[in-house]
Amino acid sequence: MILVGEATNGAEAVAAFHSLRPDITLMDLQMPVCSGIEAIAQIRVQAPSARIIVLTTYDGDVQALRALTAGASGYLLKSSLRKELLETIRTVHAGRRYVPPDVAQQIAIHAAEEPLTDREVSILEFVAAGKANKVIAWELSLSEDTVKGHLRSIYSKFDVKDRTQAVTVSLRRGIITL
């Protein structure tokens, strides 16, 4: 295996891919300028057969599903052993997909659940930032009762009792990031 290039942000990653045309691309999710998911999607538009492995610290099922939907062929945690990284590169190079069993299990567990709406996700982001319902309502041009209704829906979908638990679940699953 030969390292043919590196990039410090998503836009550089897209440009490097197009100029270097690597057999395998390792992509982080959290990058400046353009996220890893955006970079994957951009690469796949120009090169539908590109083989991209996400190498990240995010073990949440939602982030993994977003990356795979964008066109990643593999998903691997940075905490993985070097041996697993090499095996994943070989697996993806051979045209197969790879998702660690723990991440695949989380995807399977949550696959049948009702997803959050875009509005519920934006409300969770405000809650995670420490905003009160009144402030969230004002920021989103909603009534405070509407915000409370969205929060009740979130609590029900996550089977939690309060804001803190809802934020914790959404962070762990990769629905929102800080």
pLDDT at residue number 43: 97
10-109: CATH homologous superfamily?
Response regulator (3.40.50.2300)
Rounded to two decimals, the pTM is 0.80
How far is Cα of residue 47 from the mean position of the Cα atoms in its chain? 21
The first and second tokens of residue 18, run together, are: 């197009």
Architecture of the domain spanning 118-173: Orthogonal Bundle (1.10)
Residue showing tokens 């949550």: 110
Structural contact between residues 59 and 105, judged by C-beta atoms closer than 8 angstroms:
no
Mean pLDDT, consecutive 10-residue segments, the chain of 178 residues?
Answer: 92 95 94 93 95 90 92 93 92 95 89 89 96 96 96 94 94 87
Boundaries of every domain in the chain: 10-109, 118-173
pLDDT at residue number 57: 87
DSSP 28-45: -SS-SSS-HHHHHHHHHH
What are the angstrom distances between the C-alpha of 26 and each of 59, 65, 73, 98, 147? 16, 17, 10, 13, 39
